[in-house]
Amino acid sequence: MKNAGAVAWSEVDTQEAALIARCNTGDEGACADLVSIHQRMVYSLALHLLQDRDEALDLSQEVFLRVFRTLSSFRGQSALRTWIYRIVINQARNRQRWWRRRYRSSQVSLDDHLQQFGDVESKTEVLPDRQLASKETSARIWQALDRLPFDQRTALILREIDGLRYDEIAFSLGVAVGTVKSRLTRARQSLRAELLGLRT
């Protein structure tokens, strides 16, 4: 199941290269375009990794600042989108360490979050027979997901929500493809144990 948004670098090479070149010359319009194209993706990933809207928004700004600071060093070794994913993950990893140390006691569980913001309506394409997955099951899975190590959780989110390929996840995390496979397997094993616990 490939995500339609996960296009290869060669497909947008010309467009992205032109956009990057304009950004590097200080063209504010190009910078605004780049932010507009990727802001939802950046914010979404930051939100799923940090589970906090304010933190995610703040992180998104930091990510784009870093993107513009280091864009001149981007050599097209991956798609721009994957390169930005990598920055998001690194920033989120740093921030989460700091944030969890200080605000661990004030973290809000997903149940509370859902209670506060209402029911969740998925707009992603879910198979009809999978729509039976209850809200409670989803909440428990997300709780278990939040307890996973950062690298396993990130790999699974990139795969299941952002639909990245293994090689794109590997580049975003800065690891080998084999490591991505093992992290996904371990993460799913942990969540499967949670799922089996719900059924019994």
Partner 1 sequence: MIPYIGCEYAREHLDAFVDGELSVDEQVAVESHLRWCRTCGARVEDVQAIGDSIRFGSLAPRAIDDEARIVSDLHSSVLIRVRAEEELSLGSRFREMFTDMRLLWPALGATAAVTICLVAALSVLQLATLERPESLATMLDTLANPGAERNPLMPGNNGRVDRLTGKYVDSDFAGGISLPRASDNQEMFEGIPEQDAMFAVATVVSREGRIDKYELLKSERTGQRTERERLVHANDVEMVLDAVRQSRFAPAQTPLGRTVAVNMVWLIFMTTVETPAPHTVRAPAATVAPVTRVPPVESIEEAPLKRSDRIEASTTA
Name residues contacting partner 1, limited to 150-189 (CB under 8 A): 156-157, 159-161, 165-166, 181, 184-185, 188
* Residue with Cβ nearer partner 1 (13 or 48): 48
**Measured distance CA(156)–CA(99) in Å, rounded:** 21
Distance (Å) of CA 160 to CA 45, 126, 153, 187 = 11, 12, 10, 12
Does 118 interact with partner 1 (rule: CB under 8 A)? yes
Q: What distance, in Å, lies between the first and last C-alpha atoms of the chain?
A: 30
22 binds partner 1 (CB under 8 A): no
Build a one-symbol-per-residue string for 44-83: x at contacts with partner 1 by CB under 8 A, - elsewhere.
x--xx--x-x---x--xx--xx--xx--------------
User: Quick one: which of 8, 18, 21, 32 contacts partner 1 (CB under 8 A)?
Assistant: 32
Cβ contact 26:185 at 8 Å: no
Distance CA 78, CA 24 (A): 18
Q: Which of 150, 143, 142 is nearest to 186 (CA)?
A: 150
Piece in contact with partner 1 (CB under 8 A), picked from 6-14, 77-85, 99-107, 118-126: 118-126
- x/- map, 123-142, partner 1, by CB under 8 A: xx-xx--xx-x-x-xxx-xx
Closest CA to 84 of 46, 50, 29: 46
In whole angstroms, give the CA distance from residue 60 to residue 140. 27
**90 contacts partner 1 (rule: CB under 8 A):** yes
3-state helix, strand, coil in the chain (%, to 5): 75, 0, 25
Provide the greatest CA pair distance for the chain: 60
- Interface residue list for partner 1 (CB under 8 A): 1-2, 28, 31-32, 35-36, 39-40, 43-44, 47-48, 51, 53, 57, 60-61, 64-65, 68-69, 90-91, 93-94, 110, 113, 117-118, 120-124, 126-127, 130-131, 133, 135, 137-139, 141-142, 145, 156-157, 159-161, 165-166, 181, 184-185, 188, 191-192, 195-196
